[in-house]
Amino acid sequence: MKSIVILASGSGSNAENIISQFKKNGTIKVTAVLTNKQNAAVLQRCERLGVPAFYFNREAFSGSEAFLDMLKGFNPDLIVLAGFLWKIPSQLILAFPDKIINIHPALLPKYGGKGMYGAKVHKAVKDNSDVETGITIHYVNENYDEGAIIFQAKTAIEPSDSVEDIAKKVHQLEYEYFPKEIEKLLL
């Protein structure tokens, strides 16, 4: 059985979607969800779904070996960032080469980099009057949103679309394609 560890910072809708997809799959399992926010809604989702979830702080994440040791203990085949906003330390990238992936709510290289996440990305897309947007699933390297691209999917944007409309279209792409691409990487 292949093992996934998910890192999440917020509500956990993508994490829940991934967990739900792989509960039906006998060859891939979400072993744990790790979050850097004590009150993140993803913790309640994991409790409801029966998936172990753990909180960690910045010191454990980047100031010691504690987080790395915990991750190694799970022995993941893939580490999936699902709305996780902290930069991944180089020691984690070195310990898990080509085993850490992220999903970004835009067609990279557009609208990537530090501070470009969630509604900020959708607002930039709207402000620039783009006619399409989408998702990018990519490997994580030492720079925000610059790892090798694994997959992209696009959706059209109408001039009348609000930032919220754009977000809904992007979320639909995330929910449809993220689990599929994870499965392709693991099988």
Mean pLDDT for the chain? 95
Tokens encoding 94: 């070195």
pLDDT tens for 157-175 read 999 999 999 999 999 999 9
Alpha-helical runs (H) found in the chain: 13-23, 41-49, 58-62, 66-74, 90-95, 118-127, 163-186
First to last CA, the chain: 10
| pLDDT band of 142, cuts 50, 70, 90 | very high
171 tagged catalytic: no
| pLDDT band of 124, cuts 50, 70, 90 | very high
pLDDT tens for 92-101 read 999 999 999 9
Which of 38, 42, 64 is CA-nearest to residue 30?
A: 42
Q: What 3-state class would DSSP assign to 18? A: helix
Residues with Cβ within 8 Å of residue 49, at least 6 apart in sequence: 16, 19, 20, 23
Q: Is the pLDDT of residue 25 over 90?
A: no
Which of 53, 157, 181, 50 is CA-nearest to residue 106?
A: 157
**Residue of 104, 122, 138, 171 marked catalytic:** 104
What's the CATH architecture for 2-186?
A: 3-Layer(aba) Sandwich (3.40)
Contact present, 135 and 113 (Cβ < 8 Å): no
Omega before 105 cis (within 30°)? no
